[in-house]
Amino acid sequence: MKLLIVRVGALGDVLHALPAAAALRMSRPDWTIDWVVDPRWSPLLVNGEGHGEIVDRVHLAETKMWSAAPFSWKTLRSVAQLRRELRNERYDVVVDMQGTMRSAVIGRFARAREFTGYENPREAAAAHLYRSTRRRIGKHVVEQGAALLGAACSIALEPAPVRLPHEPWADNWAAELVGDRKVCVLAASAGWGAKQWPAERYGALARELRAMGFVSLVNAPKKDDAVAASVVAASGGAAETVVCNVAGLIALMRRTSLLVGGDSGPTHLAAALKIPLVAMYGPTDPARNGPWGTGPMRVMRGAGSVTSHKRVAEIDAGLARVTVDEVVREVKELVSSL
């Protein structure tokens, strides 16, 4: 059996889809399980040599470039190459775990005999491109993903722990960076403003963490990241910015003693790696989108938060009520329980 998963991004979403693939790998170790993903997130699936713990092969969908220049020759060549790759593989089953028009079109490229997705995908029009649809079963998106993949394969699947690839250069870099320091990663950025706990509070938190013996590292995707710079400025020297890609972030997280953040990719990465974490939630419901894993964690959600996925700039009212002192208390209780 040859199966293809389409889950192009982003960081947290790929991590939430992986427990289903891990369960399928355990159940059917002889199957081919491939994945379509944006190059930015491929280190979650395979290392630089193309070897993965769960996935056999990744096909790269260069969606960032496609969006930036949709009608360029470079984009057209990229799309055509992906279409050719998927068609040549002759997959038996394709499962769209993203539910957008883009992911549905990509799934159709493969011309598989079975192409399925949710009956109520994220973008409703995507359902018209599937050969069959499945109901959402389960409250958390990880449970829903396992039910979807299992139904597509006629196998009962329960989400399984994931194993992420190792990248030797990243492991060496992270080991040198961390050394013998007790590190807390502050995942201060969020997908949109409503999920963004104020940078000034992260800075104040870093000062409190320093008194507890932690060195606070603010992960950032680029050197001039505005959120990270604001946190460092507010920390009075208690925090420093660390710029790294996904491979570097995985390696850094493996050497981290604690993570504090919101509903963001690094928070879900910490959960997948069983790193102790404290997460602050606002408009997204942790029962559906919370960190998934068996590691030590505390998940906070301020009173007054209203579940919404609208990408508004203003901070969620409940999240705005979460104080530094409350987060420090959760951190201390978590650390004392380890």
- pTM (predicted TM-score): 0.96
**Which pLDDT score, from 0 to 100, does residue 33 have?**
98
Q: Are strands 93-96 and 114-118 parallel, antiparallel or unpaired?
A: parallel
User: pLDDT tens, 165-221?
Assistant: 999 999 999 999 999 999 999 999 999 999 999 999 999 999 999 999 999 999 999
Q: Are strands 215-220 and 258-261 parallel, antiparallel or unpaired?
A: unpaired
**Which pLDDT score, from 0 to 100, does residue 302 have?**
87
For the segment 213-233, the average pLDDT, to the nearest whole number, is: 96
Question: What are the strands of the beta sheet with 183-187, ordered from one edge?
Answer: 239-243, 215-220, 183-187, 258-261, 277-281, 297-301
CA distance 278 to 267: 8
Q: How many Cβ atoms sit within 10 Å of the Cβ of residue 2?
A: 16
Q: What are phi and psi of 32, to 5 degrees?
A: -90, 125
For the segment 41-57, the average pLDDT, to the nearest whole number, is: 97
**Which pLDDT score, from 0 to 100, does residue 144 have?**
98
Name 310's Cβ contacts closer than 8 Å, sequence gap at least 6.
194, 283
Domains 2-153 and 168-337 share a fold: yes
Just give the CATH number of 2-153: 3.40.50.2000
User: pLDDT tens, 88-127?
Assistant: 999 999 999 999 999 999 999 999 999 999 999 999 999 9
Q: What are phi and psi of 216, to 5 degrees?
A: -90, 125
User: pLDDT tens, 61-99?
Assistant: 999 999 999 999 999 999 999 999 999 999 999 999 999
Query: Above 90 in pLDDT, residue 300?
Result: yes
Query: Above 90 in pLDDT, residue 159?
Result: yes
CATH homologous superfamily of 168-337 equals Glycogen Phosphorylase B; (3.40.50.2000)
CA distance 145 to 159: 8
Q: How confident is the model at residue 16 (pLDDT cuts 50, 70, 90)?
A: very high
Where along the chain do its domains lie? 2-153, 168-337
**Which pLDDT score, from 0 to 100, does residue 273 have?**
98
How much is the mean pLDDT over the chain?
Answer: 97
